[in-house]
Structure 1
Amino acid sequence: MKIGITGATGHLGQLVIAKLKTKTAPENLVALVRNPEKAIQLGVEARAFDYSKSDGQVDALKGIDALLLISGSEVGQRISQHQNVIKAAKESGVKWIVYTSLLHAATSEMALAPEHVATEKALEESGITYTILRNSWYTENYAASIPGSVQAGAVIGSAGEGKISSATREDYAEAAAAVLTTDGHENKIYELAGDEAYTLSEFAAEISRQSGKDIPYHNLSEADFTAALVNIGLPEGFAQVLADSDAKAAKGALFSDNKTLSQLIGHPTTPLATVVKSFLV
């Protein structure tokens, strides 16, 4: 079976290919990327593929049996981009699409959810066999702020005491690889989340424990958190998305205790303490 992976040079895509190479021969894999030259280090066939350019997508997908559609990174443009890919996949004869969606997408109040819901609907209406991986937050989304938080002396956010069931990109990549190389996932939706849920207060406490410094959590309003993110250099639109995600996490949008992710990968998800340690080194 020939497996295509969109966004293969991105953080998640590279990890998926690495995991797939432990389960199938490299010649069975195709990296679908904007710039094939940047995919040379992946050690698999690379084809030019752009979410926004429908021209050429059908040819790029020919011969591919299963497609991992990693959701695009351009928030606000993903519905049309994903619909382009699904249409091209159907025309080129792709038999199965696995899509990376968002935890609780169908009921989530997060600003990120509608584009995922629309993509899921397009998949269901396409007639192609599908599997939907509704991923919770990447632990790295929070861990990336650790050096700055230690320097500033505090963790900031707007998640209140909402519990967050995040997992690492590697955990989600392993799940995608497992699904793509095993049977029984046809037309299923998996809610995927880390085994260990934590609040941002607990996240700050873990940073404090490992760094030996007192790093408290300061909870801000969504508006104030947005302003703080813009102040440190984030684009306003991206800052608004992050603050909205935090505010919705306060209401449980990023919490799940179903352990489906660890069941798929066959072992516990990566502990928060392990990720914190790697970002403090």
Structure 2
Amino acid sequence: MILVTGASGQLGQLIVSSLLARGVAADSIVAAVRSPEKATNLKDLGVQVRKADYTDTASLSAAMEGVKRVVLVSSSEVGQRAVQHQNVINAAKAANVELLAYTSILHADTSPLALAEEHKQTEAALSASGIPHVLLRNGWYSENYTMSAGMAVEHGAVLGSAREGKYATATRADYADAAAIAITSEEQAGKVYELAGDEAFTLADYAAYIAQISGKEVVYQDLPEAEYAKVLVSVGLPEGFAAILADSDVGASKGGLFDDSHTLSKLIGRPTTPIQDTLKLALL
């Protein structure tokens, strides 16, 4: 059986769908979720839905029963992830899992992004555990930006602190396919995949794409990190999360979110989804 953590989240659900599309039997997939009562859509697919809270070690141990492979989708709770991931690793080790795939961050070992620290800690914990594992070092999701494309059209501007830094983004579905392929393939233990989109863009390019698709004037306005963080807080984001986003932009200016190895498209056997396609879905 294959267990997917965070299976009711955006990436987790797509990984389950990709596994099914690849012919994995529904009853051999375990959708591990914090609130099973909110995962009826997964149960309707025929997969096993089990309660598994990153902070509840008993639930994690119970969810691992009979499981041979695990996709550890990184927790969304920044600042708590290293401990939460360790709980999953401990449960997987106790269950004698034969392979664990972890969704890390692009170039985790050298990344300038503050977000990389907990990923590095998790990668170290996996190495220490002795569990055979594969690292899926995901770049930025295209949806991280396209979800706010409408606001950019409304205000005529894309704001950020990335300067001329390049983003090699891909969609969650692209990364989900990579996870599904890695966890169902043989001889994956020890592999490290640096996963990113085929086509990179700057935020100035991104603003130009929005303008072209929407027919409205949209420009990129680069801001100092602290000022950008303040803007994010002013539109409702928590201070801590705003600081992380601003830091990530600065990290992008240093090359932290760029990769041109085309490892992702090679792994999934098709080109990654261009940012323009994702923008069209968001805007049209």
Structure 1 contact 51–85 (Cα < 8 Å) conserved: yes
The alignment yields a C-alpha RMSD, in angstroms, of 0.7
State TM-score, norm by structure 1: 0.98
Deviates more, 1:86-95 or 1:12-21: 86-95
- 1:56 aligns to what SS in structure 2? helix
1:138 aligns with 2:141: yes
Distance 2:274 2:187 in 1: 28
Q: Which residue of 2 aligns with 1:6?
A: 5
Q: Percent identity?
A: 52
Unaligned regions of 5+ residues in structure 2, if any?
A: none
- 2:39 aligns to what SS in structure 1? helix
Distance 1:237 1:94 in 2: 35
Distance 1:33 1:260 in 2: 29
Structure 1 contact 62–93 (Cα < 8 Å) conserved: no
Structure 1 contact 133–191 (Cα < 8 Å) conserved: yes
CA offset digits 1:212-264 (Å, max 9, x no partner): 11100000011010000000001111100100000110110000000000001
Q: Which residue of 2 aligns with 1:79?
A: 82
Deviates more, 1:9-18 or 1:174-183: 174-183
Q: Which residue of 2 aligns with 1:101?
A: 104
Distance 2:97 2:188 in 1: 16
Distance 1:12 1:56 in 2: 21
1:195 aligns with 2:194: no
- 2:260 aligns to what SS in structure 1? coil
Deviation for aligned residue 1:56: 2.5
Deviation for aligned residue 1:144: 1.0
Deviation for aligned residue 1:62: 1.1
Distance 1:74 1:267 in 2: 32
Unaligned regions of 5+ residues in structure 1, if any?
A: none
Counterparts in 2 of 1:224-263, with a 5 A limit? 224-263=227-266
Q: Which residue of 2 aligns with 1:34?
A: 34
- 1:107 aligns to what SS in structure 2? coil
Structure 1 segments of 4+ aligned residues over 3 angstroms from their partners:
none
Counterparts in 2 of 1:1-281, with a 5 A limit? 2-23=1-22, 24-42=24-42, 43=45, 44-281=47-284
Distance 1:250 1:57 in 2: 39
